[in-house]
Amino acid sequence: MKKIILSIFASTMVFSIAACTSAPAATLLLSAVPRDTSPSVSTSDEQALVDGNSEFAFDMFQALKQEDGNLFYSPYSISLALAMTYAGARSETETEMADVLHFTLSQEQLHPAFNWLDLELASRGGKGDAGFHLNIANAIWGQKDYTFLDSFLDTLGENYGAGLRILDFINEPEPSRVTINDWVSDETQEKIKDLIPQGAIDTLTRLVLTNAIYFKAAWLNPFDDYWTSDGVFHLLDGGSVTVPMMAQSESFAYADGNGCQAVEMLYNGSELSMVILLPDSGEFESFENNMDATLVDQRISSLEFREVDLTMPKFEYEYECSLADTLAGMGMPTAFTSDADFSGMTGNRELAITDVVHKAYVSVDEEGTEAAAATAVIVGLTAAPVETVQMTVDRPFIFLVRDIETDTILFIGRVMDPSV
């Protein structure tokens, strides 16, 4: 059975940033190729994509878990945004990205497979299920009068439904940032605001690829808030905190053994669920260090319905990070350097990823779950165009020696004849 690991977030890919003014309207240039709403994808390609995305999801977890505190991200959003960028990658850049993202399919197979998965997820909740909402949206934002290859734009239009939206990053970097952030906010029910920070979009920015995901669903078996009460939550350092703890007795898919308890809670419509993995006492760090797609698949496969007295905390928090160093450290450094090859976007090699920004929000209470996330892949010129000037010091000149910080002039000189 296929297991689709869906992260409940919104994501956006961006390229650079600046200051704060009113947002300009973006001109939408639709691809000459409409989205393929019935992609022909083999079962083996579907499985290869899902398996690869799951591998990347837990590789990313291992990379991010070094940070202290809560962690929340959307591997699907990140994969999707980088997949759109990958459509323009070539040579070593393409190879490194494929290895890190576990893209085992060819470019010709990969993007239709993402289209299949995107459309499959978009069909969730189609039975009129009350209290269920899943929105996935893609968009690309390009510099005014900058030329992108038709083949690149057609790939994104056909497989991601992403038409090119024109902005002027060169003359209006900050308003352009606001426009993209407003789009992300709208697509995530205002849960992800200010995804792209000031300074991330600048005059070198040429392309921003964005993916936004918003998810809200009621539990199939909601908690009764009558049974919610303050309880103790134990911390790894030996301390504890008091938090609202929800409780219910219900039939859940459950497993115990191999170092953890696991429970699966269905959302209304029984199409999506939340799986909680609770490592045995004193075993959290060992379990976390060994967690990968295989281990999680084994735990999910062992679930069986049992009567469970479930107690768990309510929680709500946000998480944000820059993934540039993380992705480079995972094995795709070239994409962030002047050696990057995104010639599949433009026909030349003047573009590189300048940052990948991710932001996520989650709220879990008695009624259900609300979550959103955004990933921004920021792509810009590897260097600013330089206008060459000539200066030939072949006549008398004056020179100064000064202290820069205090602007103190220490020496002044004049050269009338350098041969004397």
Task: Name the more confident of 3 and 174.
Answer: 174
Task: Indicate whether 294 and 372 sit together in one domain.
Answer: no
For tokens 């000031």, what's the residue?
198
Task: Indicate whether 200 and 272 sit together in one domain.
Answer: no
Structural domain of 338: 27-218+316-381
Mean pLDDT across the chain: 87
Buried b (16+ CB within 10 A) or exposed e, 149-166: eeebbebbbbbbbbbbbb
Task: Indicate whether 131 and 253 sit together in one domain.
Answer: no
Q: If you average pLDDT over residues 321-342, what whole number do you get? A: 97
Q: Is there a contact between 9 and 81 (Cβ–Cβ < 8 Å)?
A: no
128: left (phi over 0), alpha (psi -120 to 50) or beta: left
pLDDT over 50 (residue 95): yes
Q: Which CATH number belongs to the domain containing residue 268 in this structure?
A: 2.30.39.10
> Domain for residue 143, yes or no?
yes
pLDDT of residue 12: 41
pLDDT over 50 (residue 259): yes
> Domain for residue 144, yes or no?
yes
pLDDT band of 320, cuts 50, 70, 90 = very high
pLDDT band of 18, cuts 50, 70, 90 = very low
Q: If you average pLDDT over residues 349-356, what whole number do you get? A: 96
Q: If you average pLDDT over residues 353-378, what whole number do you get? A: 93
Residues 6+ apart with CB under 8 A from 358: 11, 73, 74, 77, 78, 320, 321, 322, 323, 373, 374, 375, 376
> Domain for residue 368, yes or no?
yes
Q: Could you report the per-residue pLDDT of 50-83, keeping only the tens digit for each?
A: 999 999 999 999 999 988 889 989 999 999 999 9
Q: Could you report the per-residue pLDDT of 129-158, keeping only the tens digit for each?
A: 667 898 999 999 999 999 999 999 999 999
pLDDT over 80 (residue 391): no
> Domain for residue 242, yes or no?
yes
Q: 104: which 2 tokens?
A: 């085992």
Task: Indicate whether 177 and 270 sit together in one domain.
Answer: no
Say how many domains are in the chain. 2
Task: Indicate whether 231 and 143 sit together in one domain.
Answer: no
pLDDT of residue 168: 96
Task: Indicate whether 115 and 205 sit together in one domain.
Answer: yes
Task: Indicate whether 67 and 203 sit together in one domain.
Answer: yes
